[in-house]
Structure formats: C-alpha cells, structure tokens
Structure 1
C-alpha cells in the first residue's frame, strides 16, 4: 500500500558490501581474476555501475543512508562515481594479509542500529550475494521493515536471495533492454513466468474467495512466492508488458481504481 499524500514516504537505507560485488564482477570476467591474493591487493579497475544501483534504491523512496564498506586503498578509481552518488565510505582494515575485512559484520551491526534509531527507514537494501547476511534478514523482517538484496547472478547465494522480500540481480540492472534474448530461450522463460503467474493468481483468488484479483496484489503475491522474480528475465519490459502478453491466459477488466485480473 502506498502512503497517502499527507503521509511521509518511508526512507531507504542502502548498504554496500562493496568488495563482494566488485569481486563477483571480476570473477565473472575470468575465474580466479580476483581470488588470487596478489590480485586482491592492488589498485582495482572500476567495474561497478554505481548509479544503476542508486537509481534502483531511489525508486523505493528517498535515500537516507548510502553507505559502502571496503578497504578503499585499492578502490581509488571509483572515487568520482562514489562522490557523485553521495556514498559514505566506511574504511575496513583487514587484520591479516589473507583475512576477510569484516565488512559484513560491521554492515550488519550498523543496519540493526540504524533500524532502532530511525523509524522513518522503511526499506533496507543490501548490495551483496553473501549468505552471511541471512541472520540480518531475520532481524529486518522482525522489525517490520522491507529487505531487498542486490547481487550478481553467478555469485549470489540462493538461500540469501530467497530470504529477502525482494532480490534484484545486478546483471539485470545494467543489461541493455534493447538486446532481446534468443526465441527458444524466451519461450522457455515465458513458460516459467506463466507457471508462477498461475500459481499466484490461484492462491490469491482462493485467499480472497473471489476469482478477480487486483494487479498490485497479484504482483505482491508473485514476489512472495519468488523474491528473485523479474519480468525482464522472462523477456518482458515490466509486469504490465507481461500481463498484456498473457491475454490467452487471463481476462482483464478496469475497475474504478485498479486493473483486475482472473484466469480464463
């Protein structure tokens, strides 16, 4: 439910496990390109599209916290992009040459503290594919806040992705929308989309006792069934485009305030 005009829009807190995302992009280019110790401890080539992630966060509300955790001595080439996006940099010093920098622990502690201090934060976005953040998801849900994760498809732990209210693959955020997939791949993707669409519609109709369900409620049900679901992965620009393509599957009617859908 969206807040009324008189109600303040809940804020967004964006937390970056920066090295995790950067390392994932390095490894996607070439296996072992980052994990070797001699590669980690050198100045890194900028690979992350920071603005794409910030734009995603801004679409959920005003960004109140935009904080990135990393050993910044090796990531100086990101300087301009980070400054332009207003990212607060948290310096992490690893305790040893081969040790983790502890960014995930510090990030979790800060996120829990921020939820306690700032009631206006409605959505927390964690940029990482690391399963270490699963306990944080339980805390966020218990606090009644919304949790979104962002990570690369190849290196995101599936249990972490499923533990979020919603998960977006970084790959899709920076993908060129004008480049279509191959027809066979799109056909298989469309079948998968139809399957979850049917399940969500049937469940929602059964819960409501009415075959007609609202478009917004249907979308929320789909995301509860699969937090990683994204219409773009199935060949559609957005949820409305997917709905229009399923005209053989559903009937659609316009009510006074919302689009209503039912299975044929």
Structure 2
C-alpha cells in the first residue's frame, strides 16, 4: 500500500491476538489441531513467532503509539525478551473455563474502536490475528477513515477477514522478507574480514529501506525518510556509535549497498 509524505505525522496502533497467531504456528509445525490438544495448549509455549518482524512492519507505516498484545500470558513467559525488545504492552486475559476462549478478540476489538475514537493522530491500525471475528471492527475502522492492515498465518486466516482489510500481510511472507534483509552470518563472510555487530548500521539501514519500499510500493524511497525509519526500528541508534559523524557520512560510507539519484524534489535511494 502506497503512503504519501503527508502521512508521516500519523501514528500507528498495533493490536495482537497473540495466542491466535502462535497457535497457527504450532499447528503448522506439529500438525493441524495440535495446539488445542490437552497437552498442547496448557503448558509453557516455545517462542515460535518473530515478534520483531511484525513490530517493524507496523513501524513502516509510522511511529507506533499503541502496541498492545492480548493473551493468557502464564504460558508465554519464554517470549519475554522478544516482547520487551518490541516494547509490547501485555494485556492478561484468563480463560473462564478449561476449554473456553480467553476473549482476546472481543477485548481487542473494543479497545481498537475506543482508541480510534479518542486519538485522532492514529492513522493506521494493524491487527495481528486471522479470525473472522475481526470483520465487524474492520468496518468500524474503515468508517472512521483509518487504514487497516491485517497480519495472519496463511493457512489459518479467514479469507473474508483478510479481504476486509485495506492490506493484508501473510506472516510467512513477512518473516521471509525480514530474513532476506539481514546481513550474512559471520560464517558466510569473507575469511579475514571482521563481521559487523548485530544491529549494525548497515543492517538497520538495509531493513529501513526495505520496509519503506514495501510500504510505499516503490523501490525508490526518499533519503530523508530513511533516518526516521531507522529511529523507529531502534530508538537508541546513534551514527556516532558506529563510527560515523552523522547520517550523511553513514550513507556515503554504505554506498555499496544502495543506488542514489535525484528525485523530483529530493534525493531518492534504493537497495542494489
């Protein structure tokens, strides 16, 4: 979905039906219905979801103002580091019975409607989950003039819900694209050439350009927008920590990664 530069000041509200997507990934790995078996759901869950990839997708549409995940967190403690890294607000929901749903989708929908009515700066709403239960809230969000982005697993996402969004991203494609943007592992690099640290300037630079290109529907992105995107991906990022006096010096040093040309009104950049 294309975005204009006039949308830059609009913020993003990101809502996760966390267990919904996690359950889909468990079923994809262990077989259909595995998660809802007695020995599948009510136990400590292995972290299968790439939280960062989804947070980065949301950040590509603007600064994230709300990042809220709904789940019965007593079984999801192993996601702790990823959730903290993504600055996710956790909403605890206990199931009222041994086999009952925790009501995450209902609570999520109510909160989303309330938030868009209270906060005029929210321009994009991202909902992570594949249930058809989200269709009514999609109508409310679109009626309010906000952009709706959905994220869900390909096999388990209800197609009517997916089509009710302005744009829907399948989780599998999202993770695949995220993996391709990462720098090669140290083993894959040239012997004798030191590898760059995790979250290096080059890695974040590449991820920022890729996300902007995907979101705006054009390989060429404004050079000025890259810095804002990098700060969304890592608010602590400072060019000086990586040996560059400023952003322009960093772009010049990383020119092997990109092509740069003069656009209609400013410099534009694309990955080589």
Q: In structure 2, what is the equivalent of residue 177 of structure 1? A: 180
Could you tell me whether the CA contact under 8 Å between 2:151 and 2:170 is conserved in 1?
A: yes
Q: Distance in 2 between matches of 1:150 and 1:68?
A: 13
What whole-Å deviation, never above 9, does each CA across 1:65-102 have from its counterpart, x for those lacking one? 00000000000000111011100000001100000000
Q: In structure 2, what is the equivalent of residue 14 of structure 1? A: 14
TM-score scaled to structure 2, two decimals? 0.64
Q: In structure 2, what is the equivalent of residue 89 of structure 1? A: 90
Q: In structure 2, what is the equivalent of residue 184 of structure 1? A: none
Q: Distance in 1 between matches of 2:136 and 2:219?
A: 34
Q: 1:2 aligns with which of 1, 4, 17?
A: 4
By how many angstroms is 1:239 displaced? Answer: 5.5
Match runs of 1:173-212 below 5 Å: 173-175=174-176, 176-177=179-180
Q: Distance in 2 between matches of 1:8 and 1:151?
A: 25
Q: Distance in 2 between matches of 1:126 and 1:11?
A: 14
By how many angstroms is 1:30 displaced? Answer: 1.9
Q: Distance in 1 between matches of 2:144 and 2:12?
A: 15
What whole-Å deviation, never above 9, does each CA across 1:164-187 have from its counterpart, x for those lacking one? 000001101111438xxxxxxxxx
Tell which has more relative contact order, 1 or 2 (C-alpha 8 A, sep 6+): 2
Q: Give the match's secondary structure for 1:174.
A: helix
Could you tell me whether the CA contact under 8 Å between 1:37 and 1:98 is conserved in 2?
A: no
By how many angstroms is 1:8 displaced? Answer: 5.9
Q: In structure 2, what is the equivalent of residue 132 of structure 1? A: 133
Q: Give the match's secondary structure for 2:180.
A: coil
For structure 1, the residue ranges without an aligned partner over 5 or more in a row are 179-230, 233-237, 242-253, 259-264
Please give the root-mean-square deviation of Cα atoms over the aligned residues, in Å. Answer: 2.4
Q: Distance in 2 between matches of 1:130 and 1:37?
A: 22
For structure 2, the residue ranges without an aligned partner over 5 or more in a row are 182-212, 221-261, 267-272
Instruction: List structure 1 runs of 4+ shifted beyond 3 angstroms.
Output: 238-241, 254-258
Residue 114 in 1 paired to residue 115 in 2?
A: yes
Q: In structure 1, what is the equivalent of residue 36 of structure 2? A: 35
TM-score scaled to structure 1, two decimals? 0.66
Could you tell me whether the CA contact under 8 Å between 1:128 and 1:150 is conserved in 2?
A: yes
Q: In structure 2, what is the equivalent of residue 163 of structure 1? A: 164
By how many angstroms is 1:255 displaced? Answer: 9.5
**Number of aligned residues:** 187
By how many angstroms is 1:256 displaced? Answer: 5.0
Q: Distance in 1 between matches of 2:8 and 2:128?
A: 25
Q: In structure 2, what is the equivalent of residue 101 of structure 1? A: 102
Q: In structure 2, what is the equivalent of residue 26 of structure 1? A: 26
Q: Give the match's secondary structure for 1:64.
A: strand
Q: Give the match's secondary structure for 1:47.
A: coil
